[in-house]
Amino acid sequence: MRKTQKFRYAARLYYQLKLTEKFNNQEQLYSLLISNNYYWNSQEKIWEKGGIPEPPSELVKIRITCDRDRLDSVVKNMSIKGLYLLEISDPFPCRPPRQNDIRVYLSFKPLSQIFPLSSDAVLGNQL
């Protein structure tokens, strides 16, 4: 294991917190700290205690690299899978040797969150 500043501070914090889970490499150590609500602040070069985490996003965000002509079929397939397209970015050309492809960013939301189930509408439940 490389003994970087991040690793040294992580190891020190691991012992200060008296964690009992074992780790075999840096990534496992960092995962332990993250699961205990600590994150690495690369600007300050310290591990900081996080606040209350936000709930997970309801959005599904996807980056796609494809031929411009296939983009419509990809979006249609995602809609068939129960996702509603909210946003599509402008196409960005890929670098050579794949300059014939484009890169786009798509944001979807599950259809169940946009159109409530009929039983929810009847019961007056809010999603």
Residue 87 bridge partners (DSSP): 107
pLDDT of residue 120 exceeding 60, the answer is no
Find the mean pLDDT for residues 40-64: 89
- Residue 70 DSSP code: G
Q: What is the pLDDT of residues 19-34, one digit of tens each?
A: 999 999 999 999 999 9
Q: Which amino acid is at 111?
A: L
The size of the chain, in residues, is: 127
Q: Which residues contact residue 14 at a Cβ distance below 8 angstroms, ignoring those fewer than 6 apart?
A: 23, 29, 32, 33
Q: Quote the CA–CA distance of 50 and 40 in Å, as a whole number.
A: 10
* In contact, 115 and 121? CB cutoff 8 Å: no
Q: What is the pTM of this model?
A: 0.54
Q: What is the pLDDT of residue 126?
A: 47
pLDDT-derived band of residue 3, with 50, 70 and 90 as boundaries? confident
pLDDT-derived band of residue 1, with 50, 70 and 90 as boundaries? low
| Exposure class string for 116-126: b at 16+ Cβ within 10 A, else e | eeeeeeeeeee
Q: What is the pLDDT of residue 127?
A: 44
For residues 79 and 108, the model is more confident at 108
Q: Which amino acid is at 9?
A: Y
pLDDT of residue 5 exceeding 70, the answer is yes
Q: What is the pLDDT of residue 119?
A: 54
